[in-house]
């Protein structure tokens, strides 16, 4: 990908799913050469095999299978790591050290390595050894308690893996890029302890800092961003579809009131006593027309109103299509399909159609040859089941 900012950087990714897999996905989309390091078939149960479309089908990545429990497999990994820029792993604390592929082991052959460990709770602390998943990190980090409630009063399950994606994956990408930038000045690598729970706390910093500074307890309907006011909420329309309203600025609020024929509330944006009455009037107004009719009227009128899309709707939205958000892809096993494209600023959005390979296909011979192994040595490793 000429012009992509990470062209020439090599990343070894030991993870198959979760935050680490998202990290390498985005690094690859920035142009890095990502090598997925997977177990050999005899240890295949050690990793979860994601669906063919997950993580954009690992488009643009290479794959090597190594038995890291064997000394020869460990040595092969270290020889690959000697020429890499980044290593990403997501084992529980202590596992990579026991395997002989931890930070100190890799740093011994590559002092400039940026070594990123991603775990739920970090490398130390009382919860370091705990298993977990996205929902648990959101629970511990205060995200769920500040979210909406279902009919029983319980927090609702979010529609996206916010912890894995932002608390973990984006957290790791930012940290890795910062470490690579520092290395360009000092020549020194870094060890990065990326804890997903820490990342969720960072995402919740507005609410947490409010509590720490004022003693006010955040939660649903507590403040502007959690629905205290009628003008920051979701409303049903005549066709039982929804619009999201988020008119924080006074002039946008005034625009909304006028468009909804609710001028009686123009002078009462932050009047706590009238919010439920205002909300009732907004509900009545929105229920009088369909979602798309309201969006056509309100979105261009500086009212901060957006449709609540289903996934099938968003992938065909004209604005997102014009931005190249969705791209075509091809798979030998599954044929043509569509997938999310290269979205972050600085990524090359005009790439060739991705070819999504079967995950059983490896680049082991090519990669080990590049690391200095002869064809005979590779054949011997394969016969012993150390590589595949």
Kindly state whether residues 23 and 128 are assigned to the same domain: yes
Per-residue pLDDT for 1 more than 60? Answer: no
CATH of the domain at 252: 3.30.1540.10
Average pLDDT over residues 213-240: 95
One domain, residues 14 and 124: yes
Written in H, E and C, the secondary structure of the chain is CCCCCCCCCEEEECCCCHHHHHHHHHHHHCCCEEEEEECCHHHHHHCCCCCCCHHHHHCCCEEEEECCCCHHHHHHHHHHHCCCCEEEECCCCCHHHHHCCCHHHHHHHCCCCEEEEEECCCCCCCCCCCCCCHHHHHHHCCCCCCCCECCCCCECCCCCCHHHHHHHHHHHHHHHHHHHHHHHHHCCCEEEEEEHHHHHHHHCHHHHHHHHHHCCCCCCCCCHHHCCCCCEEEEECCCCCEEEEECCCHHHHHHHHHHCCCHHHCCCCCCHHHHHHHHHHHHHHHCCCCHHHHHHHHHHHCCCEEECCCHHHHCCCHHHHHCCCEEEEEECCCEEEEEECCCCCCCCCCCCCCEECCCCCCCHHHHHHHCCCCHHHHHHHHHCCCEC
- Domain-located, residue 379: yes
Number of domains observed in the structure of the chain: 2
- The answer to whether position 317 is within a domain reads no
Neighbours of 267 (CB within 10 A): 9
Mean pLDDT, rounded, of the chain:
95
- Same domain? For 176 and 247 the reply is no
What distance, in Å, lies between the first and last C-alpha atoms of the chain?
28
Q: CA 29, 158, 140, 133 torsion: positive or negative?
A: negative
**Boundaries of domain holding 295:** 224-236+242-307
Query: Does residue 134 sit within a domain?
Result: yes
What mean pLDDT is predicted for residues 328-353?
92
Give domain status of residue 318, yes or no. Answer: no
Kindly report which listed range (39-53, 63-77, 250-264) carries the lowest average pLDDT score: 39-53
Residue 370 clears pLDDT 80, i.e. is over it: yes
CATH number of the domain bearing residue 378: 3.40.50.10540
Cα distances from 45 to residues 39, 50, 53, 276, in angstroms, run: 9, 12, 20, 54
One domain for residues 346 and 375: yes
Q: Under 8 Å CB-to-CB from 146, ≥6 apart: which residues? A: 204, 207, 218, 219, 220, 222, 226
pLDDT band at 51 (very low <50, low <70, confident <90, very high): confident
Residue 350 annotated as catalytic: no
Q: 32 φ, ψ to 5°?
A: -70, 150
Range scoring the smallest mean pLDDT among 40-49, 267-276, 343-352: 40-49
Domain shared by 109 and 32, yes or no: yes
Residue-wise pLDDT tens digits, 115-133: 999 999 999 999 999 999 9
In this structure, are 253 and 359 located in the same domain?
no
Is 110 found in the same domain as 259?
Answer: no
177 in the same domain as 99: yes
Mean pLDDT of 73-90: 98
At residue 96, does pLDDT exceed 60? yes
Give the model's pLDDT for residue 34. Answer: 98
Res. 2: pLDDT tops 60: no
Inside any domain, residue 4 = no
Residue 3 lies in a domain: no
| Boundary of a domain, candidates 278, 307, 336 | 307
Instruction: Kindly provide the b/e burial profile for residues 165-202, where b requires at least 16 CB atoms within 10 angstroms of the residue's own CB.
Output: bbbbbbbbbebbbebbeebeeeeebbbbbbbbbbbbbe
Domain presence at residue 273: yes
Picking from 274, 307, 340, the residue at the C-terminal end of a domain is 307
Check whether residue 231 and residue 198 sit in a common domain.
no
| Same domain (yes/no): 197, 296 | no
Among the candidates 256, 273, 307, a domain finishes at 307
pLDDT of residue 47: 60
**Which of these is catalytic: 97, 104, 124, 133?**
133
Name the token pair of 297. 């009227």
335 and 379 assigned to the same domain = yes
User: What integer pLDDT is reported at residue 201 of this predicted model?
Assistant: 98
Per the domain annotation, does 152 fall within a domain? yes
> From the CB of residue 244, how many other CB atoms can be counted at a distance below 10 Å?
14
Question: Active site residue: 164, 198, 233, 281, which one?
Answer: 164
Could you tell me the two tokens for 110? Answer: 């590559």
Residue 222 annotated as catalytic: no
Whether 115 and 198 map to the same domain: the answer is: yes
């Amino acid at each position: 990908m000429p012009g992509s900012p990470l062209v020439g950087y090599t990343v070894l990714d030991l993870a198959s799913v979760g935050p680490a897999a998202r990290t390498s996905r985005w690094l690859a989309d920035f142009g890095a050469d990502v090598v997925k390091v997977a177990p050999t078939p005899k240890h295949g149960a050690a990793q979860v095999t994601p669906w063919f479309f997950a993580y954009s089908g690992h488009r643009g990545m290479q794959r090597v299978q190594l038995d890291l429990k064997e000394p020869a497999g460990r040595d092969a990994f270290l020889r690959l790591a000697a020429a890499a820029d980044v290593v990403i792993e997501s084992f529980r604390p202590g596992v990579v050290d026991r395997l002989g592929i931890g930070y100190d082991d890799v740093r011994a052959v590559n002092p400039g390595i940026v070594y990123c460990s991603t775990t739920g709770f970090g490398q130390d602390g009382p919860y370091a050894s705990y298993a977990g998943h996205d929902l648990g990190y959101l629970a511990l980090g205060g995200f769920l308690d500040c979210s909406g409630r279902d009919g029983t009063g319980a927090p609702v399950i979010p529609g996206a893996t916010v912890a894995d994606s932002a608390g973990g994956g984006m957290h790791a990408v930012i940290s890795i890029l910062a470490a690579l930038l520092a290395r360009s000045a000092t020549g020194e690598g870094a060890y990065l302890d990326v804890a997903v729970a820490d990342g969720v706390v960072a995402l919740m910093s507005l609410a947490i800092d409010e509590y720490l500074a004022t003693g006010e307890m955040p939660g649903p309907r507590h403040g502007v961003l959690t629905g205290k006011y009628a003008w920051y909420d979701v409303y049903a329309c005549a066709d039982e579809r929804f619009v999201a309203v988020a008119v924080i600025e006074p002039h946008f609020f005034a625009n909304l009131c006028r468009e909804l024929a609710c001028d009686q509330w123009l002078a009462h944006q932050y009047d706590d006593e009238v919010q439920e009455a205002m909300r009732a009037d907004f509900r009545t107004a929105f229920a009088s027309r369909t979602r798309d009719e309201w969006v056509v009227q309100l979105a261009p009128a500086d009212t901060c109103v957006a449709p609540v899309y289903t996934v099938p709707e968003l992938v065909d939205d004209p604005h997102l299509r014009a931005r190249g958000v969705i791209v075509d892809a091809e798979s030998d096993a599954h044929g043509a399909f569509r997938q999310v494209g290269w979205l972050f600023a600085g990524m090359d959005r005009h790439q060739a159609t991705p070819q999504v390979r079967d995950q059983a296909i490896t680049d082991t011979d090519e990669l080990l040859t590049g690391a200095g192994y002869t064809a005979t040595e590779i054949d011997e490793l394969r016969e012993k089941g150390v590589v595949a």
